[in-house]
Each structure stands twice: as structure tokens, then as C-alpha cells.
């Protein structure tokens, strides 16, 4: 829906719609909407925390199986 509205107004020559289209393409739909409402989700930090958790889990499993 966002892309259709932006396209409609961009075709009518509205400069703001063209800027929105560029931001939409740069950030992707989810981050574009969060930026428009003033919320920036820290996706990178969430991903890093999940990776750290997975690494720690694998380390525990390997240490549990490894003979002493």
C-alpha cells in the first residue's frame, strides 16, 4: 500500500513523494515505517544477541559431549 501511494504521488510530480520513494527503497518497508513514526528498532543489536546466544548454546553442547 505504501509503495502504491508513493508511486501515485511521485507520478504527479510531488517532490516529497519522490524523496519518500528513495527512503523507502533505501531502508525497506519495515524500517521505513518505523522511521516515519519515530521509532527505530535496534535490529542489529537483536540479531547480535541472538547470535551470541546460539554460539553459547553450541559451546555448552560441544563441551558436554567432548570427552575429558
Q: What is the mean pLDDT of residues 45-60?
A: 68
Q: What is the mean pLDDT of residues 60-65?
A: 60
Inter-residue contact 5 to 12 (CB < 8 Å):
no
Query: What's the whole-number mean pLDDT along residues 11-15?
Result: 78
- Indicate if the pLDDT at residue 51 is higher than 60: yes
Chain centroid, CA 8 distance in Å: 25
Maximum mean pLDDT: which of 8-17, 39-48, 52-61: 8-17
The domains of the chain are located at: 2-65
Q: How far apart are CA 29 and CA 34, in angstroms?
A: 9
Q: What does the alpha-carbon distance between residue 5 and residue 33 come to, in Å, rounded to a whole number?
A: 14
Positions of E strands within the chain: none
Q: Say whether pTM exceeds 0.75.
A: no
Count CB-CB contacts under 10 A for residue 20.
19
Amino acid at each position: 500500500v505504501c509503495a502504491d501511494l508513493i508511486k501515485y504521488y511521485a507520478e504527479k510530480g510531488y517532490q516529497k513523494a519522490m524523496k519518500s520513494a528513495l527512503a523507502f527503497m533505501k531502508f525497506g518497508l519495515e524500517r521505513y515505517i518505523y522511521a516515519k513514526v519515530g521509532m527505530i528498532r535496534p535490529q542489529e543489536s537483536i540479531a547480535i544477541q541472538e547470535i551470541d546466544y546460539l554460539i553459547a548454546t553450541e559451546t555448552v553442547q560441544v563441551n558436554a559431549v567432548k570427552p575429558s
